[in-house]
């Protein structure tokens, strides 16, 4: 399952740019984090979904002494050499995700690749918390692996993409975004245990879909907020290991009761960060059970609880996100809402009855314009299939 019209546009743009047809194409979707905020790097649990917005990556060998990459959205170019990565990348921003993914894919390999002409075309809104970066990394790795006939497992691909983000974008992300982009399944959520990296697809059912409200407030994870939260979680885990023994390696191992017992002995900020992650792990497991029992409205209530914790404990929300979540409570057909992704801006994901989705989107957009004074972006999202190499 792909987005046919966007693929047609991508093929046309590639041919116009380079004067030849592409020979390999891939697609990777973005993702929505439904519940399980900042639990991935704490070896916890997450419910996510690949979404029907993503990135196409097209390429062909070019016979030159360097590789060229073109971004169809921004009309920017970048160059590098497959034959000598030590020379680095000429081009920044979006191009570093591509460059990093290729370098990590080839690390330790004796595969020699030809120089390429490549192009990306995406329809994921940037800065919306829907992981445009992971879609770019994964689509790059899938296409270049196909070029070099390089065999990797899905988990290996996810780790390659994650390493690209760590080393070339400076964001110490977990594996959530990359795994979600790869393991997506139409009309299913993705349940991931980030200790074992076991992935399970769970049917969402016919009575639920998602509306994404992009506040267009730009989050800037590289500015240090993300890394500070991660460091606080690591400090909390070390604290509990000292108190409770070696069974504690990450916050996933701590219960709410244990947190309540020892919170007064902790740094207050670290205790709040821990409360969010511990609570999120418990909420994800409860949501999985509700999903299996068809209790979708109970699922939605826990999404609201999750957002409250983001406000009060993890402090990774903002006024615009909070407005959308609060406004959603008075709109018929909304069952739950919370920020999605790293936070500090970006998007709210709303769990809605499909028949009400467009009415809900319109109501939210109008309320946002009236109270915030700017326009938000509304996307009607369905759970989508994962990354793939495409038949041309």
Buried b (16+ CB within 10 A) or exposed e, 160-182: bbbbbbeebbeeebbbbbbbbbb
Please give the torsion angle defined by the CA atoms of residues 174, 176, 178 and 183, in that order, rounded to the nearest 10 degrees.
150
Q: How far is residue 255's CA from residue 165's CA, in Å, rounded to a whole number? A: 31
pLDDT of residue 345: 85
pLDDT of residue 218: 75
Residues 6+ apart with CB under 8 A from 85: 103, 106
Mean pLDDT of 29-48: 95
Residue 187 known to be catalytic: no
Contact call for residues 65 and 81 (beta carbons, < 8 A): yes
| Per-residue pLDDT at 272 exceeds 70 | yes
**Three-state DSSP state, 382:** coil
According to DSSP, residue 383 is labeled B
Contact call for residues 58 and 164 (beta carbons, < 8 A): no
Considering the domain delimited by 4-203+385-390, tell me its CATH architecture. 2-Layer Sandwich (3.30)
pLDDT in tens, 80-119: 999 999 999 998 789 999 999 999 999 999 999 999 999 9
334 φ/ψ sector (left φ>0, alpha ψ -120 to 50, else beta): beta
Q: What is the mean pLDDT of the chain?
A: 94
pLDDT of residue 222: 44
**Chain centroid offset of residue 373 CA:** 28
Residue 172 pLDDT level (bands cut at 50, 70, 90): confident
What is the phi/psi pair of residue 77, to 5°?
Answer: -115, 155
pLDDT in tens, 1-24: 568 899 999 999 999 999 999 999
Between the alpha carbon of residue 255 and those of residues 239, 263, 273, 287, the distances in Å are: 14, 12, 14, 17
pLDDT in tens, 341-384: 888 888 999 999 999 999 999 999 999 999 999 999 999 999 99
**Chain centroid offset of residue 322 CA:** 20
Mean pLDDT of 61-68: 97
Catalytic residue among 40, 177, 193, 253: 177
pLDDT of residue 130: 84
- Per domain, the residue ranges of the chain are 4-203+385-390
pLDDT in tens, 66-81: 999 999 999 999 999 9
Q: How many separate helices (H) and strands (E) can be counted in the chain?
A: 11, 12
């Amino acid at each position: 399952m792909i987005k046919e019209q966007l693929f047609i546009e991508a093929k046309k743009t590639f041919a116009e740019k380079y004067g030849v047809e592409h020979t390999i194409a891939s697609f990777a979707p973005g993702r929505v984090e439904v519940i399980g905020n900042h639990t991935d790097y704490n070896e916890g649990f997450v419910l996510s979904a690949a979404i029907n917005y993503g990135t196409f990556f097209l390429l062909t060998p070019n016979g030159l002494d360097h590789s060229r990459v073109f971004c169809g959205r921004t009309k920017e170019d970048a160059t590098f050499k497959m034959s000598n990565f030590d020379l680095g990348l000429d081009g920044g921003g979006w191009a570093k995700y591509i460059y990093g993914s290729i370098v990590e894919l080839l690390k330790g390999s004796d595969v020699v690749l030809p120089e390429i002409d490549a192009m990306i075309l995406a329809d994921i809104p940037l800065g919306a918390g829907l992981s445009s970066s992971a879609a770019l990394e994964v689509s790059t790795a899938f296409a270049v692996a196909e070029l070099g006939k390089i065999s990797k497992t899905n988990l290996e691909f996810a780790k390659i993409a994650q390493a690209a983000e760590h080393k070339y974008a400076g964001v110490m992300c977990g594996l959530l975004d990359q795994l979600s982009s790869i393991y997506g399944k139409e009309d299913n959520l993705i349940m991931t245990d980030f200790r074992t990296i076991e992935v399970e697809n769970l049917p969402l059912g016919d009575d639920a879909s998602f509306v994404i409200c992009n506040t267009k407030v730009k989050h800037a994870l590289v500015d240090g907020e993300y890394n500070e939260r991660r460091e606080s979680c690591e400090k909390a885990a070390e604290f509990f290991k000292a108190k409770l023994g070696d069974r504690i390696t990450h916050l996933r191992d701590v219960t709410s009761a244990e947190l309540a017992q020892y919170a007064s002995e902790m740094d207050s900020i670290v205790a709040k960060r821990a409360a969010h992650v511990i609570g999120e792990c418990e909420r994800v497991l409860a949501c999985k059970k509700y999903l299996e029992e068809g209790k979708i409205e109970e699922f939605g209530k826990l999404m609201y609880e999750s957002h409250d914790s983001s406000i009060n404990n993890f402090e990774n929300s903002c006024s615009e996100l909070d407005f959308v979540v609060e406004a959603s409570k008075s709109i018929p057909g909304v069952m739950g809402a919370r920020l999605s992704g790293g936070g500090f801006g970006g998007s709210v994901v709303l769990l809605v009855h499909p028949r009400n989705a467009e009415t809900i989107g319109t109501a939210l957009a109008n309320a946002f314009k009236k109270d915030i004074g700017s326009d938000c972006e509304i996307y009607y999202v369905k759970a989508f299939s994962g990354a793939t190499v495409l038949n041309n």
